Each structure stands twice: as C-alpha cells, then as structure tokens.
Structure 1
C-alpha cells in the first residue's frame, strides 16, 4: 500500500506522517507499505521545519534527506491511499485527479471510520464514509509559527490517528481500537522515545 500525505507547505504535518509511516513499515517488516508527501502550497526544496524534525526524531523516525515538493496529479494517481491534514485539502486533491475521491480522506476521518466500523480496506473506508455522522472538524491545524508544545500536540494527534489506521489496514497487524489512556509524545533532548515503545503501548491497550 502506497500512501500519499498532503498538507500546505510540506515541511511539517505531512512530513511527520510520511516519516512515521516509513518507520512503522520498518518496525513491522512491511515492505509493501510505502509513503511520500507533498504540499498544495509547498515550500519547494525546503527541508523539514526544525521543530517538526524534532517531533519526527522523538517518534523514532528519520527526518533527514527531505525536500518539500508541490502536489501534482501524478503523485495522487500513484497512491493507493491519500491522507490529507484538512478537509479543504481533501477537496483540492479530489479536484486535481479524476477518481481520487474514493481513496482520499483526512487522516482523522479515515481513523474515525476504521475505529467505528472496523473497516480493514480502503474500499471499506469509502463505503462507510457517508453512513457515519460527522462530529466536529476532522482537520489537523498547521503549527508552523507556534510553540514547541503546539508541535508536540500535532505530533501526538498524527501518531495516535495514523499508527492504528496503518495497522488496521495491514493484514495480521490489527490492534484493538481504544480511545483512552493513549501515550503522550515526550521530547527529551538526547533521548527520544523509540517508535517500538509507542507501538508496544498501542498493542498492549
């Protein structure tokens, strides 16, 4: 499964999700799980925003060797699943590529559908989309220009939605969905918590 993550600048939220997905694929020996990211208003060629890189490192993923790129139809067309950070970006993706709507969701939307319905395929996610009532907004706000705490909260939100979703869509890697007692993201200079510990906590719940 190839996943495309989309935000605005492609230097923060979508990169966190991309690099976390790659780390999950390594952790679970899932070479079929791949990821890339792009931005609707990408800061072309820019590296990961420094605080976002710190979040990625804190989640046990790799923030190096990255350059931002703009969202183009070819990126959408080769993705099995497109996960956006906001509802507005989701609509932009659908307008850019014919047939993309059925495999494009906000990250929080896809997580909610999988959690509520037990969906285990992209087709099941799409089929259940209109049957579920929407509670609140399903967007992850851009923390660029805000405090380090804001970045930590965004990293938490992405990880807590993305990891269960990826494991749900990967056969034999299911974890029981639960919303309480989630581990928080802690950034400690020189001693980032490994992804293995985060995944172990998810599996143990």
Structure 2
C-alpha cells in the first residue's frame, strides 16, 4: 500500500506528514507482516531533488514526534501518484496538480484537512477488519462518497511555513499532526491499543 503526501517544495509540510505517518504506522503495526507492504512517501509539485528538510520544519517535526533524519526531497511524478492508494495534499492547488498528472486519481486524492473532516462522515466500523491495502482503498472510496455532501473551503489548506519564523513551523506541524492522527488511527489500526502521542499545544 502506498500513501503519498504532496506539497510544493517537499521540504516542509509533506515531509512532516510523511514522517509522522511512518512513525505512527511503526508504532501500531510493529511485528505485523503488513508493514512489509506499506510505503509512506512524499513529493513536491515544484521540488528540487535531494534536498534535506527545511531546518525549522525539521525541528518542528521532531517536537511533535517525527524524525527528519535522512529525508531527501523528490519531485511529484505521474507514476508516484498513479501507484498511490491514497493521496493527501497540503492544499487544494496541490490536489489539482496531482489530478493534472493523474486524472483518474480523483476518488483517492484529498487535501489532508479535507480528508480529516470527511472522516467523521463515513462509517469506519468494518474498516479495521480489512487488510491494509484494501482498507486504504475502501477508506478513500468512502471519503470520496462523503465529499458530495461537504463544500470545500480555505480551511482545507495547510499554509506554507517556508521562510517564516519558528512559531509558524510549529503551528503547521501541530495542524498536520492533528489532522493526520485520526486518519492514521483508521489506516494503521491493529489489535493492540495505540500508544498515546502527545501533540504539544
């Protein structure tokens, strides 16, 4: 199963989401064979290949429980998007960019805040009984069905912190963590109880 996060430069927002999702997946699925089939990646619509995370974003990520070590940026490609079971972008413009490369991906492409808002509108009860890949595809289908009953807005976007003060990076990290946590709880559910992850206020 491939989970893809998308932003602009792939050095702030989408790597925050990628590294948090990967950490939570390991916590929930450690020892499960499904970890072997899980790929959590990120890319940018205007990325320079091979860059490390922005330093302020890396520090903010660390403060919410993610590890920026070893990250390198990559450009979004049609192959990355086409092979993803779920695509979560940081803004509506990024969502449009994904769909320009992969028009058939509409039903599995959402902004991260949009997907988090839609999650409360879908029946989740049987999702955790499905294998990981099937669960991800079914969740995407249910989120897409719920989208018809919710108007999009500027709240569906995560602002870009690049070049701004550290407090802005911290706020963006908390925004991403808060939106991503309930989605991760569904995607990476296991028979064990999730560890409590503290998201600083």
Cα-to-partner distance string for 1:44-74 (whole Å, 9 max, x where unaligned)? 2210100111122112222111111110001
Q: Corresponding residue for 1:29?
A: 29
Q: Corresponding residue for 1:89?
A: 94
Change (3 A) 1:154 1:174: farther
Stretch deviating more after TM superposition (6-15 or 125-134):
125-134
**Structure 1 residue 127 displacement after superposition:** 1.0
Q: Corresponding residue for 1:18?
A: 18
Matching of residue 139 in structure 1 with residue 157 in structure 2: yes
Q: Distance in 1 between matches of 2:192 and 2:77?
A: 32
Kept in 1, the 8 Å contact 2:91–2:158? The answer is yes
**Structure 1 residue 23 displacement after superposition:** 0.2
**Structure 1 residue 136 displacement after superposition:** 4.5
| 1:150 counterpart (141, 162, 168) | 168
- The higher-RCO structure (CA 8 Å, 6+ apart) is 2
Q: Corresponding residue for 2:132?
A: none
Q: Corresponding residue for 2:82?
A: 77
Runs of at least 5 residues in structure 2 that lack an aligned partner in the other structure: 128-138
Q: TM-score, structure 1 length as denominator?
A: 0.80
Following superposition of structure 1 onto structure 2, how do residues 91-130 of structure 1 map, counting pairs within 5 Å?
A: 91-119=96-124, 121-130=139-148
Stretch deviating more after TM superposition (103-112 or 60-69):
60-69
**Structure 1 residue 43 displacement after superposition:** 2.4
The structure that is helix-richer by fraction is 2
Q: Corresponding residue for 1:7?
A: 7
- Secondary structure of 1:116's partner? coil
Cα-to-partner distance string for 1:9-56 (whole Å, 9 max, x where unaligned)? 000000000000110011112615431000001022210100111122
Q: Distance in 2 between matches of 1:40 and 1:173?
A: 37
Q: TM-score, structure 2 length as denominator?
A: 0.82
Q: Distance in 2 between matches of 1:34 and 1:160?
A: 21
- The alignment's C-alpha RMSD in Å is 2.3
Cα-to-partner distance string for 1:157-200 (whole Å, 9 max, x where unaligned)? 0000001112123455799xxxxxxxxxxxxxxxxxxx95426x
| 2:182 counterpart (158, 164, 167) | 164
